[in-house]
């Protein structure tokens, strides 16, 4: 798959080297086109060395083949991203000005386009730039908003290039077909925490990785995604989704109910505590003899949603350790009114909480199917596609 990266003259141009290497690691073919001024910040040879393609700068470069390079590049591109994009290049592409290799190829391209602005805050907030960005959006380009940060001019404000995680995510996402466009998918992820006293709590080993992979897969496939995740997560979350945070089972229950009605698909991947203390202690519990905590059952959120569902497709998970895991999981599938249930057995090699891989069996009304060991991100696509019935 082919990505063209346009690089223009901002101090953030050096970050594009890192972005290129991330995209290459994903197996993508990347070609770079620089504005002439950008070569004052980073040498075109640095990009060529990474991409193994000659970096283009001028329209009429005598060293290249006899094909019309800006047209052949434009035909090859599946995504065209300008990172970083200066106020100048934004003004040009908003108005169809094509006076160098970068802007000419951009205009000749009909693939998805991404603009990642990076500039001084005043330039970014200038109504002219704002209007130009709106025009870009009107023409279908996606804008990856800059962040607030320390700028090269010494100011602190909006204009700092978006994070490489977000840029990589936004570019890769454009390479996927969008069978879930206009569908709303909610994913819950991570561990709940039940407070015992001001310093202690009950939780579990869930990292949230499987849930975050599911949210990312749903987003890549075009869905409008809401992720409900534990407050203290330190995972990189997918770009362009809505996020709400929970701590306790009750928090997650409220958020789940609030987001369920409008959802087309709901994936209950969070590892929900089955018990909480009956009485929370306001003061730190002091050490003494034996300590007995009285626990009471928490609400079963998935079961509640199953009982109250309309047209939503509901996916549950089953975390088992027993040998007769399939029977236990099928019971859960029925009891919780799921459309799909994902069984993983903690005792299976490659499955479980904190790793990057999983081994799952997909259970639906008709059959159960064990999938081979796979990365959580690969499996996430399979789960979302099965749940929503898309290819």
Does 270 interact with ligand CTP (rule: CB under 6 A)?
A: yes
* Residues with Cβ within 8 Å of residue 344, at least 6 apart in sequence: 317, 318, 319, 320, 351, 352, 358, 359, 360, 361
Question: Which DSSP letter does residue 191 get?
Answer: B
> Minimum Å distance from CB 230 to ligand CTP?
12
# residues near ligand CTP by CB under 6 A: 14
> Minimum Å distance from CB 196 to ligand CTP?
18
Of the candidates 209, 218, 202, 227, the one whose C-alpha atom is nearest the C-alpha of residue 280 is 202
> Minimum Å distance from CB 301 to ligand CTP?
3
Q: Which is nearer to ligand CTP, 141 or 329 (CB)?
A: 329
Which own/partner contact pairs does 134-138 have at CB distance under 8 Å and 24+ positions apart? Answer: 135/94, 135/95, 136/90, 136/93, 136/94
Exposure string of 268-304, with b = 16+ CB inside 10 Å and e = fewer, is: bbbbbbeebbeeeeeeeeeeeeeeeeeeeebebbbbb
Rounded to whole angstroms, the Cα distance separating 264 from 182 reads 9
Q: 327 burial class (0-12, 13-18, 19+ CB within 10 angstroms)?
A: exposed
Chain residues 148-177 in contact with ligand CTP, contact rule CB under 6 A: none
Binding mask 195-234 for ligand CTP (x = CB under 6 A): ----------------------------------------
* DSSP string covering 261-330: TT-SEEEE-SB--SEEESS--SSPPPP-S-----EEEPP-HHHHHHHT-SS-EEEEEEEE-STTHHHHHH
320: its two tokens: 């088992």
Of the candidates 203, 98, 117, the one whose C-alpha atom is nearest the C-alpha of residue 158 is 117
> Minimum Å distance from CB 296 to ligand CTP?
12
At 266, give phi and psi (nearest 5°).
-135, 125
Q: Which is nearer to ligand CTP, 4 or 269 (CB)?
A: 269
Q: Which is nearer to ligand CTP, 112 or 316 (CB)?
A: 316
Q: Which is nearer to ligand CTP, 4 or 267 (CB)?
A: 267
The reply to whether 111 belongs to the active site is no
> Minimum Å distance from CB 353 to ligand CTP?
12
Which residue of the set 111, 136, 153, 315 is catalytic? 153
Rounded to whole angstroms, the Cα distance separating 350 from 356 reads 8
Q: Which is nearer to ligand CTP, 171 or 315 (CB)?
A: 315
Binding mask 249-268 for ligand CTP (x = CB under 6 A): x------------------x
Q: Which is nearer to ligand CTP, 221 or 271 (CB)?
A: 271
Q: 62 burial class (0-12, 13-18, 19+ CB within 10 angstroms)?
A: exposed
CA–CA–CA angle 149, 245, 228 (5° rounding): 115
Binding mask 328-367 for ligand CTP (x = CB under 6 A): ----x-----------------------------------
> Minimum Å distance from CB 258 to ligand CTP?
15
Binding mask 292-321 for ligand CTP (x = CB under 6 A): ------x-xxx-------------xxxx--
Rounded to whole angstroms, the Cα distance separating 228 from 255 reads 7
> Minimum Å distance from CB 349 to ligand CTP?
19
> Minimum Å distance from CB 238 to ligand CTP?
20
371: its two tokens: 């999938």
Catalytic site positions: 153
Interface ranges with ligand CTP (CB under 6 A): 249, 268, 270, 272, 274, 298, 300-302, 316-319, 332
């Amino acid at each position: 798959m082919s990505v063209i990266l346009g690089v223009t003259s901002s101090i953030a141009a050096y970050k594009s080297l890192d972005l290129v290497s991330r995209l290459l690691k994903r197996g993508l073919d990347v070609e770079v086109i620089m504005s002439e001024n950008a070569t004052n910040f980073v040498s075109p040879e640095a990009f060529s060395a990474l991409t193994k393609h000659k970096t283009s700068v001028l329209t009429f470069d005598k060293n290249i083949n006899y094909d019309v390079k800006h047209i052949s590049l434009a035909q090859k591109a599946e995504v065209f991203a300008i990172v970083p994009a200066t106020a100048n290049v934004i003004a040009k592409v908003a108005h169809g000005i094509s006076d160098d290799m970068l802007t000419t190829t951009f205009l000749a391209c009909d693939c998805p386009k991404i603009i990642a602005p990076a500039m001084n805050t005043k330039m970014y907030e200038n109504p002219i730039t704002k209007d130009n960005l709106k025009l870009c959006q009107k023409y279908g380009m996606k804008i990856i908003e800059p962040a607030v940060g320390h700028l090269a001019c010494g100011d602190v404000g909006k204009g700092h290039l978006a994070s490489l995680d977000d840029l990589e995510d936004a570019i890769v996402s454009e390479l996927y077909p969008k069978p879930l466009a206009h569908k709303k998918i909610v994913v819950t992820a991570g561990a709940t925490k039940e407070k015992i006293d001001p310093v202690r709590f009950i939780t579990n080993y869930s990292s949230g990785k499987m849930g975050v992979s599911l949210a990312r897969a749903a987003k890549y496939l075009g869905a409008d995604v809401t992720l409900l995740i534990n407050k203290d997560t330190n995972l990189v979350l997918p770009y362009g989704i809505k996020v709400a945070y929970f701590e306790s089972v009750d928090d997650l229950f409220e958020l789940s109910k609030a987001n369920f009605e409008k959802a087309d698909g709901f994936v209950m991947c969070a590892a929900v505590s089955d018990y909480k203390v009956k009485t929370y202690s306001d003061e730190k519990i002091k050490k003494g003899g034996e300590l007995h905590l009285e626990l009471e059952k928490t609400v079963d959120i998935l079961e509640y949603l199953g009982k109250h569902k309309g047209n939503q497709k509901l996916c549950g998970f089953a975390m088992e350790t027993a040998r007769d895991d399939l029977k236990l999981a099928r019971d859960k599938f029925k009891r919780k009114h799921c459309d799909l249930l994902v069984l993983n057995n903690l005792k299976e090699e490659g499955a479980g909480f904190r790793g990057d891989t999983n081994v799952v069996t997909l259970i639906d009304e008709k059959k159960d199917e064990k999938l081979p060991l796979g990365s959580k991100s690969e499996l996430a696509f399979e789960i979302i596609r099965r749940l929503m019935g898309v290819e």
